[in-house]
Amino acid sequence: MVGPAARDYRVGGPEADRAASSGLVEAEWFRPPIEPERLRELQIRGNFRAATDTITWLGLLGGFGYLAFISLGTWWAIPAFAAYGALYGGAGDSRWHECGHGTAFKAKWLNDVVYYLASFMLLRQPTLWRWSHVRHHTDTIVVGRDAEIIFPRPSSPTSVALVFVPLLNVPKMVVRTAQHAVGRIDDEARSFIPADELPKLKWESRVYIAILAGTTAWSLAAWTIVPLLYIGLPTVYGAWLMVFFALTQHAGLREDVLDHRLNTRTVYMNPVFRFLYSNMNYHVEHHIFPTVPYYALPALHQEVKAHLAPPSPNTWTAYRHILSTLRRQWRDPAYDESRDDVPAVPDADRAFVNTGHTVWAGDRHDGLFDLGPASALAPGSARQVEVGDEAYALFRMNDGTLACTEGLCTHGQAYLAEGVVLDCLVECPKHNGRFDLRTGEAVRHPATDPLALYPVEIRNGRVVSSLESLSGETQP
């Protein structure tokens, strides 16, 4: 006997209004305390580790693809294609994810190349899913807002099983892509994609459809399914591995809360799983600190684990809890997996837990605001400055140049002093948007509006500013 009627999980539906009225939309989330210097160390990116992992992944993909080709017509082709599909439609997911955040490689173009490649492997339209994932991080498992909730409640055993074999989901994705290709963009996509990004969605969809149509035509002309086994179908027959990992993230946990410790799960996994999954098993840590690259997540876990719920000791234990919870939610959609093991943290309900240095600026006799000692700001670091109710961010770029900006990201209203300084850029700690500290320009989505810049100079070892915007706007 199934319990109460299901909620409306459509993005932008009536539940979205309820979430907004409840203060769940674009709210501030709990962050555990961490030493600022240690966090900055963990945020450092490089190209070597990501390149090594990517080359290994693509090498394995190519190797199993070759084994599948030379074993065509024999039973050996089955395990070879199974491994190829798992690497293509399964392990490609975490590469898509990390490069979508822009944290895997230090070089932006490398992140973009791998992101677009993995997006196609998963048949995810790059612009659609980039903004969908921004929403997922903004309103994680908030009904009516998050488009990435895998199991709407109540989920039947049949719906759970079908997630692992996406015979219905993938065709729906292809149909949606075809609709976008002809300009029929649905309301859900319009609800979270900026209007000026919608043309990209159309052209990306056309490229996808052209590649899939060309591969299908090749298969028909040659009267063989082999081309489709390499392009297109691996998204179906290899998706089980993606789902196997993805279910450990949020399934069975609480909806509509502002604490990732209650709706997100960390699971200890073996080295092979961690490679295939790009360390995303440390998922609570990733959601709280998305500016930390995947290869630093194990170290981040050690820094903050005392403030989080104990991780699942292994994948098997996590699945026992997940499947048990989903079975109970089928009968009682209001049931949640217990999170009584979340430790109490002082000020856990604060809207903002400062992980950087905050100074309260004071007036100098000549009318300039004192922003603190210049020596306290090392290259590549930031400091929050508050004047009355206004927040500012003071940065020292890697070349030693100082910059002062408004304190909140123009997209997600996150404190930029908690972000990471990358040469002359600052990356927002909430959605990985980036700004050029020399010009204030937004240079990486989801950020689109520029930052206000303020003049700074050093007098007697102190950083001072008039806090009059270089564009002419004066702050109190």
Q: What is the DSSP letter of 90?
A: I
Instruction: Decide if 131 contacts 100 (C-beta within 8 A).
Output: no
What is the per-residue pLDDT for 472?
55
Rounded to two decimals, the pTM is: 0.86
Q: Which residues contact 401 (CB under 8 A, 6 or more apart)?
A: 424, 438
Q: Euclidean distance between the first and final Cα of the chain, in Å?
A: 61
Residue (of 381, 397, 467) closest to 438 by Cα position:
397
Q: What is the pLDDT along the chain (476 residues), one digit of tens a residue?
A: 444 556 899 998 899 999 999 999 888 888 888 888 898 899 999 999 999 999 999 999 999 999 999 999 999 999 999 999 999 999 999 999 999 999 999 999 999 999 999 999 999 999 999 999 999 998 999 999 999 998 888 888 888 888 888 877 888 999 999 999 999 999 989 988 888 889 999 999 999 999 999 999 999 999 999 999 999 999 999 999 999 999 999 999 999 999 999 999 999 999 999 999 999 999 999 999 999 999 999 999 999 999 999 999 999 999 999 999 999 998 898 888 777 778 876 554 444 444 455 666 666 657 788 888 888 788 888 888 888 888 899 999 988 899 999 999 998 888 898 889 998 999 999 899 999 999 999 999 899 999 999 999 988 888 888 888 887 554 44
CA 96 to chain centre: 10
As a whole number of angstroms, the distance between CA 53 and CA 71 comes to 27
Instruction: Decide if 121 contacts 89 (C-beta within 8 A).
Output: yes
Q: Which two tokens stand for residue 236?
A: 């179906």
Q: Which two tokens stand for residue 101?
A: 């955040």
Residue (of 275, 271, 276, 283) closest to 318 by Cα position:
283
Token pair 């190829």: residue: 84
Token pair 């450092």: residue: 44
As a whole number of angstroms, the distance between CA 177 and CA 202 comes to 8
Cβ-in-10-Å burial (0-12, 13-18, 19+) of 35 comes to exposed
Instruction: Decide if 450 contacts 437 (C-beta within 8 A).
Output: no
Phi/psi at 386 (5° precision): -120, 135
What is the per-residue pLDDT for 158?
85
As a whole number of angstroms, the distance between CA 196 and CA 299 comes to 39
As a whole number of angstroms, the distance between CA 284 and CA 137 comes to 11
CA 196 to chain centre: 21
Q: Which residues pair with 426 in a beta bridge?
A: 421, 435
Q: Which two tokens stand for residue 381?
A: 């670091």
Residue (of 211, 236, 283, 224) closest to 88 by Cα position:
236
Please state whether beta strands 402-406 and 420-422 pair in parallel, antiparallel, or not at all (unpaired): unpaired
